[in-house]
Amino acid sequence: MERTDLVFNALADATRRELLTVLARTSPRTATQLVGDFTITRQGILKHLDVLAQAGLVEVQPKGRERRYSLSPRPLDGVNDWIEAINATWRERLTRLKDLVESDEPL
Amino acid sequence: MQEQGTLVAEQSMVMKANRKRVWQAITTAKHFSSWFGLRVEISRLEPGGEFKFLEFENNLPGKIVTVEPPELFEFEWTPEAGVPVYTLVTFRLEEVEGGTRVTMRESGFEKLPEQYRKSRFEGNSEGWSIQIHNLDKYLKEGRDIGEN
């Protein structure tokens, strides 16, 4: 998979999005610290963190026996570009809607 | 109502027309087709009603989700025939001084398959405002922290 696909795949899961949100508030954190914020097991958290790391959305640093995870938001730039393009299409459509409703045409 | 961190496009515009008029323009097939840019067919204007896009070789299926005149209209549509993934399009109409504020929101892009994302991106390279609801806000904070 290309990097953007890995990013989308990572974002497609609600738990992973929640993990990113938690890490955005407080980073770095260990898996053990993160477990308290979630209802899934530590092993489950580690699996999700691994998917996020492969997409480049979190960075992993070893710290003693545990690893510390930090948010790395740079890969989201590609996603932003993509959403921007969709917004552009919608803006064009809404501009045409505005022209229509502000015209004299009977609706 | 909205799942946290879902990917959304959102655009808002004030139009000099009353809500009833805007409502007509977004919920009748003839008018919708004219501004949207693709021909649609509406089987019946109620939740569960078909909202079909006719322009392509294969019609794109869509389904009406919410009809609350003259405030809220929602439908789901799929980017490609045969792709079993839908995004939700929401139109919210608010009365404001001098007219109606129309807010359009399309959500659920994170579910779309790769080939669709690519085609859609290559077709439009112009940039506008960026919206990644909720997640974006937190991520920006995270990014600021990261760079200091």
User: pLDDT tens track of chain A, all 107 residues?
Assistant: 667 778 888 888 888 988 988 898 888 999 999 998 899 999 999 999 999 999 999 999 998 888 999 998 888 877 777 788 788 889 999 999 999 999 999 99
What is the band of B124 on the pLDDT scale with cuts at 50, 70, 90?
very low
CA of A51, closest CA in chain B: separation in Å? 15
Please give the ipTM for the structure prediction: 0.76
Same-domain status, A68 and A79: no
CB contact under 8 A, A24 and B138: yes
- Residue A40: give the domain boundaries: 3-73
CATH of B8-147 among 3.90.550.10, 3.30.70.660, 3.30.530.20, 3.40.50.720: 3.30.530.20
Helix ranges, chain B (H): 19-27, 29-36, 114-123, 135-147
Picking from A9, A97, A102, A104 by the largest number of B CB atoms within 10 A of its own CB, the best residue to mutate is A97
CA of A37, closest CA in chain B: separation in Å? 15
Same-domain status, A67 and A44: yes
CB under 8 A, 24+ apart: contacts of B68-75: B69/B23, B69/B27, B70/B19, B70/B20, B70/B22, B70/B23, B71/B19, B73/B23, B73/B26, B73/B27, B75/B51
In this structure, the number of other CB atoms found within 10 A of the CB of residue B120 comes to 17
Nearest CB partner across the interface for A102, out of B16, B106, B112: B16
Report in angstroms the alpha-carbon separations of B74 from A33, A85, B95: 40, 21, 18
